[in-house]
């Protein structure tokens, strides 16, 4: 028989209460205890049933993380009346923060888990952008929420990462004269495709700097005006064939282009879970 029963009562998972209880009990040598977690308690009837069980026990501690005032207040009243040792972990801290911040709390159960879900969703979107960057795997086009296409050095990768950080799954495909675009590009809805372009002067400068950084000479056709003009003409034909909107990224910051992309997507009735 356990000499100590620790009841963890929460209107969310009860992880906080359980972690605090385990951290505290670890300071004692006794192993004769049990921790019983009661998560997702949202009604007084559920709460009353648990507290009645606790009152029957000989040696019980109630630890509660109830953010809803009606539940927290009832727990305090009941445990005081029945002589049950009870510890409210959340509300003293919430009350202190309210006094300092000057605004009332939302009193929403499980909100920290919601924030965690948002974080992991954002990480997933960024990983998606990495996996389907630069046309690595055309199969990702079907699952992408947005697809960016354009010639080299039109900010496809940084835009994919930026939008991924906004919780949007983006794939990008380079348009190269010698390589036919993937068939999937013509099979997905054109409304989720955005074409990116740049003026020839900018591309000439950017590509020249890129070659210099790689230790290559500017003589490569990659940075010549003739090659760049041919690529831009080729890319424009594909974009017109697809029927997608085209954004000129010349002299635009990544953030500015991203907002234009989101505006176009909104006009096409694409609803993102933007964070």
190 annotated as ligand-binding: no
155 annotated as ligand-binding: yes
Contact, 124 vs 116, CB < 8 A?
A: no
Helix (H) or strand (E) holding 150: strand 146-150
Helix (H) or strand (E) holding 87: strand 85-88
122 annotated as ligand-binding: no
Q: How far apart are CA 149 and CA 186, in angstroms?
A: 12
156 annotated as ligand-binding: yes
Helix (H) or strand (E) holding 129: helix 111-131
Q: How far apart are CA 168 and CA 144, in angstroms?
A: 8
User: In sequence order, what are the beta bridge partners of 10?
Assistant: 65
152 annotated as ligand-binding: yes
β-pairing verdict for 33-38 and 4-10: parallel
123 annotated as ligand-binding: no
Half-sphere exposure of 100 (CA within 13 A, CB side): 6
114 annotated as ligand-binding: no
Binding residues: 150-157
Binding residues for ADP: 150-157
């Amino acid at each position: 028989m356990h000499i100590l029963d620790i009841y963890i009562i929460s209107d969310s998972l009860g992880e906080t209460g359980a972690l605090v209880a385990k951290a505290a009990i670890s300071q004692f040598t006794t192993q004769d205890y049990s921790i019983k977690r009661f998560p997702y308690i949202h009604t007084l009837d559920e709460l009353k049933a648990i507290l009645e069980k606790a009152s029957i026990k000989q040696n019980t501690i109630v630890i509660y993380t109830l953010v809803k005032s009606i539940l927290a207040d009832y727990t305090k009243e009941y445990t005081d009346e029945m002589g049950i040792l009870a510890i409210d972990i959340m509300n003293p801290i919430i009350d202190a923060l309210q006094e300092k911040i000057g605004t009332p709390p939302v009193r929403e159960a499980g909100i920290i888990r919601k924030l965690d879900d948002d974080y992991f969703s954002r990480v997933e979107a960024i990983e998606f952008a990495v996996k389907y960057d630069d046309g690595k795997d055309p199969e990702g086009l079907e699952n992408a929420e947005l697809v960016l296409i354009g010639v080299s050095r039109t900010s496809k990768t940084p835009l994919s990462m930026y939008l991924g950080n906004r919780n949007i799954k983006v794939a990008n495909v380079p348009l190269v004269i010698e390589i036919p675009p993937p068939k999937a590009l013509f099979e997905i809805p054109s409304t989720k495709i955005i074409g990116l372009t740049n003026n020839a002067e900018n591309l000439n400068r950017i590509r020249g700097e890129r070659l210099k950084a790689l230790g290559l000479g500017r003589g490569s056709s990659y940075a010549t005006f003739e090659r760049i003009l041919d690529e831009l003409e080729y890319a424009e034909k594909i974009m017109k064939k697809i029927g997608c909107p085209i954004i000129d990224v010349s002299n635009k910051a990544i953030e500015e282009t991203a907002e234009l992309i989101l505006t176009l997507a909104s006009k096409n009735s694409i609803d993102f879970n933007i964070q």
